[in-house]
Amino acid sequence: MLKVTPLLALAAVLGFGAAAEAQTTLKAVQDRGSLVCGVNQGLDGFGNKDDKGQWSGFDVDFCRALAATLFNDPTKVQFVPLSAEARFDALKSKQIDVLSRNSTWTMGREGDYGVAFPGVTYYDGQAFLVPKSRNVQSALELDGSKVCVQPGTTTEPNFTDYFNANHMKFEVVHEGSAADMIAAYQAGQCNTMTTDASALFAIRQQLAKPGDSMILPDVISKEPLGPVVRQDDMQWFNIVKWVNFALINAEELGVSSKTIDDALKSQKPAVMRLLGTEGDFGKPLGLSQDWATRAIRAVGNYAEVFNRNVGADSKLGIPRGLNELWDNGGILYAPPIR
Ligand SMILES: N[C@@H](CCC(=O)N[C@@H](CS)C(=O)NCC(=O)O)C(=O)O
């Protein structure tokens, strides 16, 4: 029988205590002085680096919002570009603090990789891009297609399920990046491309002749995209979760990067709680009282982030659709700060 002496027990408790302290993601990030964020290796609108080394995109701005919350400085973030296949291992092995790379929340991922999705930043769905010359109007006419797809994604099992369920034959053409998929499609190695509809908007724009291809209207899956963290740190999970909710609540309350100075004088209780002029909701999470104010000032509210990167004010021009607020015809619904 195993004997646990009081001294050993004490050492174990102290040891575990010290280990738990050292493992706090917030502390590690604060000690380092910057956030390490895993992002896309190259997808317009979501995560992309330009010739000058400047990162931009919807997921990139989420990293900046987090950095602003933590450091009051959205530039205190290092971006790590990751392929679909590499992303969850990078998170598990602590190469990154958080993954913000058009990743679909599924039960299997939380089970298999020991990761957790603190929320949804973008409600998406899978679609198909085809040359107009194929003369198809619906995904049900895609029998016999050569389909370009990226491994390590939800995309491949979704589309094979769909083709099998509808008794359609297909050939899979694997490509390791969006750039490779575009090259293969333009070289005629595949005559169908499939991924999240948002990514197809971005990819279509990068084709030499965007007008020669179309996105079919069928949406064959649910792709709730959001940031991802490890399962071992509830505090960090909650920080990431509430930064997302803060940007959504800010839009709902009419607080934006342009109106924030006026909003700080507001007497509306919900605005005051969001901005920390009343109450201190950041404290239990290890954050400052103005944690949300910092994020909103740095990147704007949800609408500003969406419109700038993928929506009306961007090259992609994706309609808000499901990503409208719940009181405006969409399904974006953030729990209240109170
Ligand atoms: N949301 C899906 C798909 C994510 C994904 O990797 N999409 C591709 C679409 S082309 C992408 O972002 N590729 C960019 C790259 O890695 O070069 C998932 O989480 O599995």
Instruction: Please give the pLDDT value at position 22.
Output: 52
Alpha carbon of 6 to ligand 1 centroid (Å) = 52
pLDDT in tens, 310-320: 999 999 999 99
AA identity, residue 312? A
pLDDT confidence bin for 3, thresholds 50/70/90: very low
Distance, in Å, from the CA atom of 329 to the CA atom of 33, rounded to the nearest integer, reads: 40
Mutate which of 41, 43, 201 for ligand 1? The one with the most ligand atoms within 8 Å of its CB, which is 43
Query: For the purposes of burial, counting CB atoms within 10 Å of the CB of 177, is it exposed (0-12), middle (13-18) or buried (19 or more)?
Result: middle
Centre a 10 Å sphere on the Cβ of residue 308 and count the other Cβ atoms it contains: 18
Alpha carbon of 226 to ligand 1 centroid (Å) = 12
CA distances from 276 to 85, 272, 280 (A): 40, 6, 6
Going by alpha carbons, the residue nearest to atom 15 of ligand 1 is 177
pLDDT of 6 over the 80 cut: no
Distance, in Å, from the CA atom of 316 to the CA atom of 306, rounded to the nearest integer, reads: 11
pLDDT of 17 over the 70 cut: no
Q: Is 43 in the pocket of ligand 1 (CB under 6 A)?
A: yes
**For the CA of 42, the nearest atom of ligand 1:** 17
**For the CA of 225, the nearest atom of ligand 1:** 1
pLDDT confidence bin for 156, thresholds 50/70/90: very high
State the greatest distance between any 2 C-alpha atoms of the chain, in Å, as a whole number.
Answer: 78
Going by alpha carbons, the residue nearest to atom 13 of ligand 1 is 178
Alpha carbon of 153 to ligand 1 centroid (Å) = 6
Using the CB atoms, write b or e for 60-85: b if 16+ within 10 Å.
Answer: bbbbbbbbbbbbbebebbebbbbbbe
Mean per-residue pLDDT, 245-264: 98
Residues 6+ apart with CB under 8 A from 307: 313, 314
pLDDT in tens, 40-65: 999 999 999 999 999 999 999 999 99
Alpha carbon of 103 to ligand 1 centroid (Å) = 7
Mean per-residue pLDDT, 138-160: 97
Coil, helix or strand for 115?
A: strand
pLDDT of 113 over the 50 cut: yes
* Torsional sign, CA 280, 284, 290, 292: negative
pTM of this structure:
0.93
The answer to whether 119 touches 90, Cβ cutoff 8 Å, is no
**For the CA of 177, the nearest atom of ligand 1:** 17
| Residue from 211, 198, 231, 219 nearest 316 by CA | 198
Going by alpha carbons, the residue nearest to atom 3 of ligand 1 is 153
Alpha carbon of 309 to ligand 1 centroid (Å) = 17
Q: Is 158 in the pocket of ligand 1 (CB under 6 A)?
A: no
- For a pLDDT cut of 90, what percent of the chain falls above it? 93
* Torsional sign, CA 269, 271, 276, 281: positive
pLDDT of 10 over the 50 cut: no
pLDDT of 66 over the 50 cut: yes
pLDDT of 285 over the 90 cut: yes
**For the CA of 84, the nearest atom of ligand 1:** 6
Alpha carbon of 200 to ligand 1 centroid (Å) = 10
